[in-house]
Structure 1
C-alpha cells in the first residue's frame, strides 16, 4: 500500500520567544548530577531502548533509519513500500553536501527519540511528576561526542569514546517511580537486531562486505546480530555478538597506529586534537574545500598548486579516520596484537547501526556549525563542475508531509531546526557568539598542541604538511589506508595516514552506490592533508634536530619519508623503497610535501587567545 504522507522532519518544537535548547557534550551531560540531566539521561536510555525494539519492518524503526546511511540499500519514506533502491544508497561522501546531508539525518534521529520520550512520559510517569519529565524532554537535545577533547584524562588530554558507550548496563531513574533508580541494559553500548542481520526478510537483509579482490574474504556483517567494535576476527566463533573492545578504540584514537607496530618507543601524540584546531584556523577559499575530500583543479586535476595547500585539509578527511579508529578494520590478522579486530563503525555500509555513530556525527554537525559562524561568507561558493547546488534535494529527508525534500539551504540555519550548541551561541540568547569568543573557546578546547609548537617563542614557526591526492576507488572501492612514516635504520616512525572510507563498487541494481560509480567513471579524485609539524616538534628524540628549520627538515622529508598502501585484507598493495624521488606511481596517488609558516597573534608579547593562528606562505618541497 502506498504511503499517503511523508514523515516531516521538523526538529523538536521550540516555543516562540524562548531560548533554543543546546546539544550538550555527552560525557558532561551524562555526569551532570542535576535533576533535569538525570531525568533526560533516563528518558534517552528508555526511548533508545524502545526505538531499537521497534520492528525492522517499520519505517520509523531504529533499523530502517540506520539503514538510510547505506545498507541494506532500500528506499525510505517514499510513496511506495520499501524496495531495493534503484539509485543505490542515499548517503553522500566525497561530495560538498557531506555536512548538509548528515544534518537532517541527525535531526530525524533526534526527533524520533523525542517522540518516544513523550510517549514514555504520557504512559508511564505518575501525574505529579509529569510536568518535570515533560519539561526535561522538551529541553533535551541529542548529545555530541567531542572526539578531539581529552575525555579519559583532561590533564593529559587523553582521548576516548564516551563513558556511556563503555557500559553494558546503566543506572537510570524509574519512570514509574521517579524517585528511585533501576539498572537496565544500555542501548548506547550496542544495537541488537531481531535475528542475524543476514537472515532478516527481504529487502532488509544485510550482506557480507567484500574486503579484497579474491572473492574469498568478507566482513561477516550478515552473521552479526549485534554491532561490535574490534570484535570480528577471522576464524573466530564470535560473530553474532562479538563485543565492544573500547580499549582498542581508545588506544587507536590516541596512538593512530594504522594497525602496524610503530617500532619507535615514543609517546603517542594529540594529532587528532591538533588537526581539528588547524581545521578552524585555516583560511579555506570556499565551502567545498572545508566540507569534503573531493578534489578538483580545473587546470591540472593531478596537481596541487602551492597556494591551494590550505584547501586540502577537510572535515570529511578527519571524519574518515575517526570512523576507522573507533571500529577497527584488521579482520584477517592472526595473533594477539593490540589492534586486531574489525567493527561496524569502520565500514561505510553498516557504521550507522552502531549507536555511537549518532553521538559522533552530532559532533561533526557541531564542527560544521562552528565553521559556519567563523566563515559566514562561505556557503556553497565557488562551485566546481558537477558539484550539487544548495537547492538540490537531500534525499530521502522530507521537510513536510507532502514529499518535499530537504535542500542544503534548508539546513543552513541549525537554529531553525530546533537546536543549538554552546560553542557558538551567545549565552541567554538565540544569537551567535562573537567570532573572537568562538575562537577563544576553540583555543581552550583544542589549542594546546598548537601552543606547544610555539613554546615561549611568539615568533613565526615553520609548518610542514603532506598533501595527498588519491583515488578513493583505486581498489574498485575496497577500503584501504595510506600510511606515512619516516624510515630509520632501526625503526620507523609513523606520522599519519589517510583512510578512504569506501566500499566495493557495485551498480545500483546490485545494491551499490550510483554516485560512487559515477565518480569513479568520471575520474573524480580525493584529497587529504597530513600535518607533520606537531609530530616533528614532539619528535626531537627520534629525528635529532633542535629546530624545525628547513635546512633540517627538508632533507629529512626528502631522504626518509615513506608510505605504504594497506588493504583491509591485511595485504600491502604498495610500499615505497628508497628516497621519495625514486617511487613509482600507484593508482593516481600523488604525495606532495609542503613547507609554510605559522604565526600566532600576540598582544603585549603574549599569545592572543581570542584569535587563531595564521597559516600560509606554502611552497612545495621538491622530492627530486
Structure 2
C-alpha cells in the first residue's frame, strides 16, 4: 500500500439543510457561555487539545509536527518525497475533531456519548477578536483548569491553552528546534532549550540555561498593556487594533494591497487604490503587531520559527481568517488571480516566478492521493464546513456588514460623533452635519521600511511626541504614540546554516514593507486632556512636527542609529483628509483621497530635495522604478550617506544600471534580461575604476569601457549622469570623468542597484538616493 496523505477536508459533520454550516465562535463569548452545549464543546476542546499536545513529536499528526509546518524544525510535512536539501528551505498549518470523536468521547460512559457527539459535530475552532477584546482571553490565562465531565468528579487538568509543553518534558532541541539570532550581539534565543512556551518573558527570564526559560512563563498582564496601549478616550474598552480593522474593512483597495505589506512598484494591477495613502493599509501589518503584543520580547509568538507552538497562535489566525472572510464578502469581485513571486519565495515549493489562483498550496492535500489545495479551492469557507457569526448564510449584504463594522470597530467614528454631540461649541476642525453626524479632519501616519534592514532580525519602530517646548528625545512612556513590529527572521541560524531561503531571497531583493496607523484618536485624546484645542491642519501640523522615533530590537534595547540609518530606508509621512461620519451605522463613511503633508515625518529633517527635482529611494538588489522617466536633456544624480573606501582583498562590484522598460511587455519584470540596459556602471573598489556597458533586452553586452575617476569617490559619494542626445556625461563628486556613447536612445524608467557577486555588500549604502532632473541645467 502506498503512502497515505493526510486529507484536509474540514469537518463534514454538523452540517444543516441547504448548506448551513456550524459557526466559528468568538472565543471570549463562547468560553464563558452557560449554555450546556457550549460548555460541553469547551471541555471537549480542552481535552482534545491536551491529547494532541501529548502525541509523540515524531508523529506526523502530532501538535509539534503540525505547528512545525510554520518554521522549526524545518522538516517536510506530509511530503515523503521531499529531499533533505529542500527541508531546510521552507517552513510550512481537523486533528482536534478526530480526537474528540475517536478518543475523548469513547472514554466516557455511553449515556453521555450522544450528547457529546452532538456538541462535537457542531464545534469549530474558535477565533479571538483581539480588536474588540484586546486582552489575553480569560481561559487562556489559567495554568490549570477544573472540569466536570461525563458524570465524573471534578478534576484539575493542565490548561493546554496556557502554553504548549513538550510530551515527557523533552526539550524541543531533541526534535530539531534550535536558536534564533539575538540582534544585540548577545547569546541567541535558544528555543531548543525550551520545554514549554512563553508569553512576554523578562530579560532575566530569557537567560539561557534558566529553569524559567526552559519551563516557560506567561505574563499576560504585560501582553494586555501592549494590546491596549492606545486605549480609546471614550468609555469603549477597545485597543488600537479596532480602528485598524475598521479602516481595513472600509477603505477601497485591491486584493494585493489588502493582503500584504510588501510593496512592488513593478506589479501590474488594474484595480489598484486611487491613493498612495490607502495603499499603506493591509492585514499583514495588523497581524504582525498582534504577534509582538502577545509574545513580547523573546516570547514564542513574536518569533516566526517558533510562533505556532504558542496555543494563542491558532486563536489569532482564526481571527485573521475571519477578517479575510469579511473583506471577501464586502469585496466579492476582488480576488487573487495572477501575480509575480513575492518575498515568500514560492519557487522553492514548485510555484515558479509567477503564481496564480491555481498554484498548489503545499504541503496541504485534499485527498489521500496527494491532490494539493489551491487558492481557488480555499476561497469559499462554507465548503470547508464553517462560517462566522456575522456571516451565517454567506448572503449578507455589504450594508448589513457595514453596521457591524461601524458599531464594533469604528473608534474614530464613535469618538468624532461623541465629540460633535457633546461640545457646547464645536472644536475647530469638527463640523456637525445635518443628520447629527460629524465631519472631522483625520490624520494618519504611514511608515515604510526595509524588512531585512537588520539582517532579517525582528525589530520595532517606535514613534514618540515631544511635549511642547521640549527639544530632547527622552523616549518616555507617556510620550509614546505608536509602534510597528517587523515580524521576520534571519535566513541563517546561529551556525550559519540557511534555514529560510524565502528570507534569503527577500533579503537579496531588499523587500520593502509599509504600515498605516491612524492618529486621530491620539489627537482627540489630547483634546480631552486639554493639550490641544483644534483639529485643523495648521494647529495639528505644529504638534506632529514634534514627532521623533527609534528602532528597538527584539530584546527591547534601542539600536544605535548608525547601525540602521543606511539600510532601513525609513520613511515616515503624515496624511490628512476629512472624514464625514453619519450617525446611521449602515451609511458608509465619506472621505476624499488623503494627501501627504509636506515637511512632516522623516522629510522634516531629511528631505533636502530642491524644487523641480524628483527624489527616488534606490534599494540594493532590486529593480527600482523611477517616479518619472528621464529622457535626453535630463540628469540623474545618485547620492549615498556613506562609502566604504577600504580596498578589499578580493574585488567585488557595485553596479548602478539605467534601464528602460516597455510598458506593453508581458515578460517577467523581475528579470533584468527583459530590460534594455541603457548604461551599466560597475564600481570596482579595489582597482578604483568604473566599468561601463550597455545592451538590448535578451541580447549580449557590448565591450566594457573602463573609466578612471581621479580622485576616487569621497565618504559621501555622488554619481551624476547627464543624458545628452548621443552620449552620457558621467561625473564623480561633481567632477566630470568622461563621456559614454548613447546607442539605445530610450528614456530611463528604472534603476537596477546590485552587487557582484550577488551576496556581496555594496560599497555605498544599501539604500541610496536617485534624484531625477528633466533639465540638466537645474542640477546644482
Please indicate the TM-score interval, normalised by the length of the shorter structure.
0.7 to 0.9
Report whether the alignment pairs 1:376 with 2:326: no
Q: What is the distance in 2 between the residues matched to 1:122 and 1:484?
A: 52
DSSP-derived class of the 2:6 partner: coil
2:166 is aligned to 193
Q: Conserved in 1, the CA contact under 8 Å of 2:230 and 2:239?
A: no
Q: Conserved in 1, the CA contact under 8 Å of 2:267 and 2:340?
A: no
Report whether the alignment pairs 1:500 with 2:482: no
2:296 is aligned to 328
1:96 is aligned to none
Report whether the alignment pairs 1:207 with 2:178: yes
DSSP-derived class of the 2:248 partner: helix
1:417 is aligned to 384
Q: Conserved in 2, the CA contact under 8 Å of 1:198 and 1:205?
A: no
Note closer, same or farther for the CA distance 1:485–1:388 as it changes in structure 2 (3 Å cut).
Answer: farther
1:391 is aligned to 358
What TM-score do the two structures reach when normalised by structure 1? 0.82
Q: Deviations over 1:570-609 (max 9, x none)?
A: 4433559xxxxxx976522222221122122x3xxxx120
How far does residue 448 in structure 1 lie from its aligned partner after superposition? 3.9
How far does residue 619 in structure 1 lie from its aligned partner after superposition? 1.3
1:89 is aligned to 90
Q: Conserved in 2, the CA contact under 8 Å of 1:454 and 1:461?
A: no
Q: Deviations over 1:203-261 (max 9, x none)?
A: x32111112163x332121111011112353445521113211111111111169xxxx
Q: Conserved in 1, the CA contact under 8 Å of 2:195 and 2:216?
A: no
Which of these two proteins has the greater Rg computed from alpha carbons?
Answer: 2
Q: Conserved in 2, the CA contact under 8 Å of 1:74 and 1:82?
A: no
Report whether the alignment pairs 1:545 with 2:520: no
1:140 is aligned to 123
Report whether the alignment pairs 1:597 with 2:596: no
How far does residue 392 in structure 1 lie from its aligned partner after superposition? 1.2
1:512 to 474, 480, 499: 499
Which runs of no fewer than 5 residues in structure 1 stay unpaired? Answer: 92-104, 106-110, 151-158, 258-266, 330-341, 577-582
1:471 is aligned to 450
Which runs of no fewer than 5 residues in structure 2 stay unpaired? Answer: 343-353, 422-431, 605-780
1:242 to 213, 216, 220: 216
Note closer, same or farther for the CA distance 1:591–1:433 as it changes in structure 2 (3 Å cut).
Answer: same
Report whether the alignment pairs 1:12 with 2:28: no
Higher helix residue share: 1
Report whether the alignment pairs 1:356 with 2:342: no
2:245 is aligned to 276
Report whether the alignment pairs 1:115 with 2:85: no
Q: Conserved in 2, the CA contact under 8 Å of 1:506 and 1:512?
A: yes
Greater alpha carbon shift after TM alignment, 271-280 vs 378-387? 378-387
Report the number of matched residues: 551
Q: What is the distance in 2 between the residues matched to 1:371 and 1:71?
A: 31
Q: What is the distance in 1 between the residues matched to 2:304 and 2:595?
A: 35
Q: What is the distance in 2 between the residues matched to 1:543 and 1:41?
A: 47
How far does residue 534 in structure 1 lie from its aligned partner after superposition? 1.1
Q: What is the distance in 1 between the residues matched to 2:75 and 2:136?
A: 30
How far does residue 48 in structure 1 lie from its aligned partner after superposition? 0.7
How far does residue 612 in structure 1 lie from its aligned partner after superposition? 3.7
2:282 to 296, 314, 338: 314
1:227 is aligned to 197
Note closer, same or farther for the CA distance 1:75–1:88 as it changes in structure 2 (3 Å cut).
Answer: same
Q: Conserved in 1, the CA contact under 8 Å of 2:131 and 2:240?
A: no
Note closer, same or farther for the CA distance 1:512–1:542 as it changes in structure 2 (3 Å cut).
Answer: farther
1:334 is aligned to none
Q: What is the distance in 1 between the residues matched to 2:161 and 2:74?
A: 24
How far does residue 135 in structure 1 lie from its aligned partner after superposition? 0.8
Q: What is the distance in 1 between the residues matched to 2:580 and 2:509?
A: 40
Matches within 5 A, 1:62-81: 62-80=63-81
Q: What is the distance in 2 between the residues matched to 1:565 and 1:541?
A: 30
1:454 to 400, 405, 417: 417
Q: What is the distance in 2 between the residues matched to 1:272 and 1:440?
A: 18
1:561 is aligned to 547
Note closer, same or farther for the CA distance 1:596–1:389 as it changes in structure 2 (3 Å cut).
Answer: same
2:621 is aligned to none
Greater alpha carbon shift after TM alignment, 2-11 vs 312-321? 2-11
1:332 is aligned to none
Note closer, same or farther for the CA distance 1:565–1:133 as it changes in structure 2 (3 Å cut).
Answer: same
Q: Conserved in 1, the CA contact under 8 Å of 2:173 and 2:193?
A: no
Q: Deviations over 1:338-391 (max 9, x none)?
A: xxxx31111111111011111111111111111111111110168457563211
How far does residue 423 in structure 1 lie from its aligned partner after superposition? 1.2
Q: Deviations over 1:169-221 (max 9, x none)?
A: 2222323x36x5432221111110136665644xx32111112163x332121
What TM-score do the two structures reach when normalised by structure 2? 0.66
Q: What is the distance in 2 between the residues matched to 1:88 and 1:385?
A: 16
DSSP-derived class of the 2:594 partner: strand
Note closer, same or farther for the CA distance 1:306–1:437 as it changes in structure 2 (3 Å cut).
Answer: closer
